[in-house]
Each structure stands twice: as structure tokens, then as C-alpha cells.
Structure 1
Amino acid sequence: MSKSDPHSRPPSTDGMLATAAGDVLPVSGYRLGREIVLPRTAEAMVWLGAGLPLECVAVPGVLLRPGDVLVEVELATVCGSDVHTALGHRPAAKPLVLGHEQVGRIVATGDPAYAANGMPLRVGQRVVWSVTVSCGTCARCRRGVPQKCLDLAKYGHERMQRGWELSGGFATHVQVCAGTAIVVVDEQVPASVLAPASCATATVVAALAAASALVPLAGATVLVTGAGMLGVTACAMATDAGALVVVSDPDAARRQLALAFGAAAVADPSAPGESPTGVASVLAALQDAGAAEPTIALEVSGAQTAVQTVIDLIGIGGVVVLVGSVSPGEPVLLDPESMVRRLIALRGVHNYTPADLQQAVTYLSGGWHRHPFSALVGTTFPLEKADSALLLAATTRYPRVGITPQQPATLG
């Protein structure tokens, strides 16, 4: 695989893809693989640049190589990174099919194809899959960090290419490439619970694993800054693991949501000075009542002030895990002497391993009903209204907005 062509296969036949505007894109077939002609033309909503409406592109067929899987999307959810890309806040190649959080059903396989646990995949199985495609053989993959593969490709992040047009979740189908971690999921778990597993939930698993490798979760006081999808998921998982969780967020509605996901207390980082609702005051009150000082902090908001807060307030021997800082921002003050004297560990987490995704699905399958995960997707739009979904996701207080492609978009 290469970043310029995730399949690394030579073209043999040419064709064209039609867009709703009447434009065409070149498309090539390949000498190796299994050609799949779809019973109805697949459609993808394609981002062409900030401020431009998404284009509907028709994909009449795909060619699957060994290990590839074609999945019909049941539900996709809009991640914050999709919004940032669409608004032009982060660099991205175009044209681009956004979307990397989704659940769907296998409709074809490029035999042989296997799940992350090594079991063969078959048509009809309901699955989620990792955001990354990894080679499995480079030095980083061998070191156990396949999410940073030297030959990495990512769903919803790569330029639309000949041979891999169905590369993001804002589509009726996704061509899931060999090298992707695929996990079979329970038929009984709602799609709104499962779709975020391939980004938010698995990332939280990775963050908690990074923290608990140094400080056990059971009995720990955990500070989580940010009560969006990542924050409330972290709150639920840490609480279920036996931690006492404090969640900080400036939005009152999201603080209430954190309480519904098991937070022992919430704080308002925008509260002035020594306000009893401020982060330091809430943590101090808990310690006065017998709780331990915070020894795990998960920063999932990406806000510069929140990063500074977790570094300043983490207790002796604690670990700070930074998750939300995935875009350029203002620097924070790091006092080396304070870090040394407080025995502080600072870790960064970005994406996750196949094992993390498997654990995320296991957690959701067994415990989604303990917390209101099914209520986190506030509104669901049909595929042809993906622009509206992105707009709402940029402004709503709901952690996620959904897109369902069950009704095909209409081509002009």
C-alpha cells in the first residue's frame, strides 16, 4: 500500500463517475481482484473544499483485492474532525469522502478476508472497522503502533482516488481495505451506539490504557476535561472500572450529561477565581471529603486552557494523557522542575490499535445500557443532506449527529 494509492494495484480498464452537477471523475479498474457490480449504484457525498456543497458521486462497482471487504453503511456519525475539515480548519486533500465513524453490513468480500480476531469474514455480518489502514510489516507496525504505520491511510481523510472511491463513511458503501481492523458486532446493540466505536470509543480505550499502565483505575480520582463524545465515554468507562471521575466543561448541559454517565462531580472551568464550581475548588472539596488527589487526567477537549489545567492540577505520581490536541494551537507552560518534583508522566494518544477497537466493541456490547449511549446521537439526516448534518454538528450540543444512507441520494 502507498499513500498515493491505498491498493497499490496497476490499472487496466478506464471509466467515468458522474456527479450531481454533471461533472465526471476518471476511474480505473485493476488486473487483480474480484469485480463487484452493485445491485444499485453506490453513492458518496464528496467534499470539494471549504464553503462548497458536498457533491454526490455515483460508484457503479468496485474491485476487491484479497482481504478487502465491501460494507453497506447502516449509520455514520459526524466526528468533530469531519467538521474541522469541512470548515477548512485543518488541511485536507480534495476531493474527499468524509466520515470514519460508522457501522454497516458486509455485502461482498475479497477472499480471504479476516476480522481483527483472526476469524474469517462472511457476507451478512454486521461490522465496525478502524479509522486506519496499516501495512502490518513496517517498523512501527512491528513495534505495536500500527496506527502510526509508515504507509498509513485513513478513512475519511484521504483524497478520493481511482480504485478507492468509497473511502469514507458519508456514503452508501465503504470499501474496507486489507490492513484494516474489522470487528464483528452484536445485532442487538443500536447503530447509534456502535457507529462511534471506530473513533471516539476506541480512542478512549487507548487513552485509559495509557493511563492505567502507570496508575490503576480502580480507586483513582480521574479528572476529565471536556464532556463531548470522548469525555462522557471516558467518564462511563473509568467509572465502570472503579474510578471516581470529575468532569470539567464550560457548557452546563454537557456537565449534566457527564453526571448521567457516572461522574461523581462536575466543574465549570470558566468559573471565576475561587468559585466553588471551579475545577480546583471541586477537586479540593472532594479531597476534604476523603477522596484521593487526582492521579489520572484525560484532556479530551483540545483547549489550551484545559491542557494547562490538567498539567497544573494532577497529583503526585500522576499521569496526564493528552487526547484532544489534534490541531495546531497555542503553546502551554510546562515547568520541568514541577513535573520532576511531582513525578508526573505526560502521554499523548492519537488513534488506537486493533485490540483497542475490539475492547471498545466488547465494552459497548456488554454495557451500553448502563449509560445513555443511545441518546448521544441527537439527529439523523439522510445521506443527501450530509451538508445539513455537518452544519448541525458544528453548532449542536449533542455529541454526535447521524447520517443514514438507507435512502439513496438523488443524482441530477
Structure 2
Amino acid sequence: MPQSIRKRKKHSPTKMRPARTSLFHGSNQPFEIYQCKIEPSDVGEVLVKVNLAAICGSDLHTFTGRRTSPIPCILGHEAVGQVAESTDVTDFNGNTLNEGDRITWSIVSSCGTCLNCTSYQLPQKCETLSKYGHAQRSLPRDLNGGFAQYIRLQPGTAIFRLPDSMADSESVSLNCALSTVIAGLNVIDIGDSVVIQGCGMLGIYATSLLRYYGCGVVAVVDVRSDRLKMAKNFGATHTFNLTEVSPDQINDELLALTNQYGVDLVVEVSGVASAFTDSLDWLRIGGYYLTLGYVYPEAVTIVPMDKIVRKCLTIHGSHNYHPRFLGDAIEFVQETRHQYSFNLLIGNTYPLAEIDQAFQEAIKGNQIRIGLNPWE
């Protein structure tokens, strides 16, 4: 029989029970907890037991209706787990995966052959992209989100083994927040002085990363004193609370720190539209503005374009990442985990059955990330 029409070989999961999953039905609606039958994996797929998942800001955007998602679906893309069955699939570095390997993975699967994947080197914008936690439920093979006991990784997903020394709580947000920050900074002339707008998970990662890169001034701007205090523990040299000082006062402070030139770079990770206009005065002539947080349609503001032109500013938007940056994220945390307490970025962890309470807690914003343990 010609290979092209052979029946695809399936891996039969052994000792598998139905998987408990959570189903999202629409903004501000209760999640449905249900049992999903685990179908055999096709060639190229990898069944993963989810050890820990985290509620990302984009999950909150979807839940509150700030961005749309096909429904019903299984939300969740920040996750870490273990290979749940034997497989012939290799990891990103070409090594065969084994059952029991603890792994993280890219938040998308991509074809590797389209124009975006090849010429533009933007596989996260693949023409046939599938994004975990943002795809509609497709019975019977619907394990495509992280808020479940198992997730099935599709061909075209970059998979990385995790070092034994790194805890799940240190690893769970690498495949979204940290990799996104590393990818964005990769195309920027960082310089020595930086302002970070926003002190959530991306802001904390950006703070520690920019100090690691050797920046002398890493100033963090937010409206929460508790988060700004945490930023200090992750390398911030200066912090500014917008409930206590105005953008103009911050500008005066930044000019004093940079010999009246202004900062080299502003990194936006707040998602607050007005943050963009605030920053234009802070940047030096020829400075760079990197935005990572405007991922919802209502991020609209009036911009004084003359400042961009007259100051010769470079504005760069970056969304998600090339898979190689996930490898860089693992190496960074492994190298600096004794300097920075990355495990503390995951706050309260809820059982999957209490996902409604977990989301309500995450919306309050009192903790950087809320965790979900599908097995409790």
C-alpha cells in the first residue's frame, strides 16, 4: 500500500482513565468540569499529563470579554507536565522523548513551511496556526488547553525538557511570559537605561532579565505598591507609583538619572493604552519603545505623532515568540534561580474543580499568577 494512503498509526494509551477538563462557555460564565475520554494519539502527537497550569493575563482577557475566543474551549496555555505515553516524537533539540520526561512546550503549533514560518521567521504567525488554550473544542479529540488533567501536543509544537533542578512553579510561565519578553528584547538595541511599564509577570521577568543583561537603570512603573516592592526583589533599581507621582514627575526623575538625555528603552507590558503617550517624553532622542501588552482590541489612545517623528523614535510591537526563545528562557531561570525567587511568582494554587474561584482571585490582581493543579 502506498505510504500516502496508509492508515495512520496510533499510540494506545495504557492504564488511562477519562481526563478531567474544564470547559469555557463564554465571558464571566461558570466553567464546566467534565470528563473527557482519552483517544489514542496519532503519529506526531504527544499526550502530556499536566502537573501545573497558571492563569495568564490573556486568559483573564478572554474570561472578562476583553478579547474573543471560540467557544466552547479549554482555556490555559501556561503549563508544565510529563510525557504520559511512549512516543517517537523528538524534542526541539532532536532528542527522543520518553514517557515520564518533564517538559514545557511552545504555546502554538506551526507548519514550518509557510511564508511566515520560513521567510519571516515568525512561526507564531503561521498560516495554519493552532494555539493552545484558544482553540474551539473539537470532539472527540479536544485536549487542546492547559486547564485539564491532560493536553495533547500537536505536530509542529516545540517541546523542551526541563532540568530536574527547576520546580514546576519556576517553570510554568516560561512558555508564555518569559519567552515573550526575551523574544521582544532580542530585536531591540537595549542600551543602559530602561523603563518597564507594568509589574505583572512579564514586567517582573523583564526586570530581572534586563538587570541580567547589565542595564544600570531599570525603573519600573505601576500603580500597586506591593508589586513595585516585589520588582525591587527582582532587580529594579528605581520604582514609581503612578498613584503617587505624575508622568511629568517621573520624567524629571528619569532625566536626572540619565544626564538629561532620557532613557534608552521603554518596555510596555501593562496593557494600559495611555502608557504609550506617557512614555514618549521619557525616551531619549533615537530611543526605542517595545510594546508587548496591547493584545486586546480596545487598546486605543490618541498619540502625538510629532514626538515619534521629531525624536526619531523606533516603535516595535512583538507578540509571542520563536520557539528558540523558550530554550533561552529555561537557561535564564536555571542560571539565576538562586538569585531570584521565581517560584514565588505563583501564588495560591487551586484544584481544577475550583477554577471559578481561581479566576475570581486572579481578577483581583493581588498575586502575580494563580495556579491550577488538575490532580487535586
**Normalising by the residue count of structure 1, what TM-score does the alignment of the two structures yield?**
0.85
Aligned to 2:278: 309
8 A Cα contact 2:251 2:281, kept in partner: no
Aligned to 1:179: 156
Cα separation, 2, equivalents of 1:138 and 1:33 = 27
Deviation per residue, 1:291-348 (Å, 9 max, x gap): 9731111100010111112233211221111100001225334444432332211110
| Alignment-mate amino acid for residue 161 of structure 1 | S
Q: Residue 289 of structure 2: which of 298, 301, 320 is its match? A: 320
Q: Residue 234 of structure 1: which of 185, 206, 213 is its match? A: 206
8 A Cα contact 2:16 2:38, kept in partner: no
Cα separation, 1, equivalents of 2:310 and 2:338 = 43
Root-mean-square deviation over aligned CA pairs? 2.0
Cα separation, 1, equivalents of 2:8 and 2:235 = 54
| Alignment-mate amino acid for residue 279 of structure 1 | I
- Kindly state the Cα deviation for residue 173 of structure 1 after the two structures are TM-superposed: 0.8
1:110–1:148 Cα change, 3 Å: same
Q: Residue 114 of structure 1: which of 85, 90, 96 is its match? A: 90
Deviation per residue, 1:192-214 (Å, 9 max, x gap): 11000011011111121122xxx
- Kindly state the Cα deviation for residue 50 of structure 1 after the two structures are TM-superposed: 2.3
Is residue 379 of structure 1 aligned with residue 344 of structure 2? no
Is residue 406 of structure 1 aligned with residue 369 of structure 2? no
Which structure 2 segments of 5+ residues have no match? none
- Kindly state the Cα deviation for residue 353 of structure 1 after the two structures are TM-superposed: 0.7
Aligned to 2:123: 146
8 A Cα contact 1:75 1:103, kept in partner: yes
| Alignment-mate amino acid for residue 229 of structure 1 | M
1:191–1:334 Cα change, 3 Å: same
| Bigger mean CA deviation after superposition, 146-155 or 308-317 | 308-317
Aligned to 1:135: 111
Cα separation, 2, equivalents of 1:281 and 1:385 = 47
1:330–1:375 Cα change, 3 Å: closer
1:127–1:337 Cα change, 3 Å: same
Aligned to 1:195: 172
Cα separation, 2, equivalents of 1:235 and 1:273 = 21
Which structure 1 segments of 5+ residues have no match? 1-9, 11-29, 408-412
| Alignment-mate amino acid for residue 146 of structure 1 | P
| Bigger mean CA deviation after superposition, 32-41 or 311-320 | 32-41
Cα separation, 2, equivalents of 1:301 and 1:86 = 18
**Normalising by the residue count of structure 2, what TM-score does the alignment of the two structures yield?**
0.93
Cα separation, 2, equivalents of 1:184 and 1:152 = 23
8 A Cα contact 1:33 1:110, kept in partner: no
| Alignment-mate amino acid for residue 117 of structure 1 | N
Cα separation, 1, equivalents of 2:331 and 2:143 = 27
Is residue 76 of structure 1 aligned with residue 46 of structure 2? no
Cα separation, 2, equivalents of 1:184 and 1:356 = 14
| Alignment-mate amino acid for residue 125 of structure 1 | D
Cα separation, 1, equivalents of 2:15 and 2:142 = 14
8 A Cα contact 1:202 1:357, kept in partner: yes
Is residue 124 of structure 1 aligned with residue 100 of structure 2? yes
Aligned to 2:227: 254
Aligned to 2:67: 90
Structure 2 counterpart SS, 1:95: coil
8 A Cα contact 1:210 1:321, kept in partner: no
Deviation per residue, 1:345-382 (Å, 9 max, x gap): 11101000111111111111121221121111110011
Cα separation, 2, equivalents of 1:314 and 1:38 = 59
Aligned to 2:10: 33
Matched residues, percent identical? 33
Cα separation, 1, equivalents of 2:214 and 2:261 = 13
Cα separation, 2, equivalents of 1:90 and 1:32 = 38
* Structure 1 residue ranges (4+ consecutive) displaced by more than 4 angstroms after TM superposition: 272-275
8 A Cα contact 1:377 1:398, kept in partner: yes
Is residue 225 of structure 1 aligned with residue 197 of structure 2? yes
Is residue 285 of structure 1 aligned with residue 256 of structure 2? yes
Deviation per residue, 1:156-185 (Å, 9 max, x gap): 100011243111111111101111111110
Deviation per residue, 1:241-271 (Å, 9 max, x gap): 1012110001111111111111110112344
Q: Residue 133 of structure 2: which of 156, 170, 174 is its match? A: 156
8 A Cα contact 2:55 2:370, kept in partner: yes
8 A Cα contact 1:35 1:61, kept in partner: no
Q: Residue 343 of structure 1: which of 288, 307, 312 is its match? A: 312
| Alignment-mate amino acid for residue 311 of structure 1 | L
8 A Cα contact 2:287 2:314, kept in partner: yes
8 A Cα contact 2:193 2:258, kept in partner: no
8 A Cα contact 2:91 2:158, kept in partner: yes
- Kindly state the Cα deviation for residue 142 of structure 1 after the two structures are TM-superposed: 0.5
| Alignment-mate amino acid for residue 339 of structure 1 | I
Aligned to 2:78: 101
